Each structure stands twice: as structure tokens, then as C-alpha cells.
Amino acid sequence: MSKKIPVRRCVGCQEMKGKKEMIRVIRTPEGDFLLDATGKKNGRGAYLCPSRECLDKARKNKGLERSFKQAIPKEVYEALEKEMEDIDGK
């Protein structure tokens, strides 16, 4: 029996990729949004490629808004962009 690799759709570029190649954006039960590089945090999640480009696309196409069914404040995007730069910029 071959194991299926779980794939997720990037809310930015809409490509399907393996869960492990992606980064989760989660909303905590407290209503905070953050990047979950480890995939271990609790909360409702959306998936993004670990790139600034996909975050920009998600911002433009409102992919995160759709995933979380709510407006995403611009402060959240700014914080996510900062975090993404740390992850992406290597």
C-alpha cells in the first residue's frame, strides 16, 4: 500500500503542493493570525508556499479572507510579510 502524500492548495498561487513544502497561516482561538512554520500549532489554517510572492498574491486575490471567511486587517499582512521575509530570505 502506498501512502498518499497530503497535498494542500496555496492560497496565493493556487498550486497544489505537499503539506511539508508549505507554510501554514493560522488563526489562533484568540483570533490572532500567525505563520506556523512547524505545522504544529493549533488553530484554523490556510496554506501558502514559503515565499513572499505567494503572500503578495494571497493578499491581492483575497485568498486568506476566503479561507478564514473574514477580513484580514492590514496589520496582519504586515506582520506576515515580516515573518515571511525571515523564512524566505535565506
Question: Under the rule (CB under 5 A), what is the footprint of Zn ion?
Answer: 10, 12-13, 49, 54
- The residue (of 29 and 62) whose beta carbon lies closer to Zn ion is 62
The nearest distance, CB 59 to Zn ion, in angstroms, is 12
- The residue (of 10 and 80) whose beta carbon lies closer to Zn ion is 10
- The residue (of 3 and 60) whose beta carbon lies closer to Zn ion is 60
Is the distance from CB of 22 to CB of 13 less than 8 angstroms? no
The nearest distance, CB 57 to Zn ion, in angstroms, is 7
Give the whole-angstrom CA distance, residue 39 versus residue 75: 22
The nearest distance, CB 29 to Zn ion, in angstroms, is 26
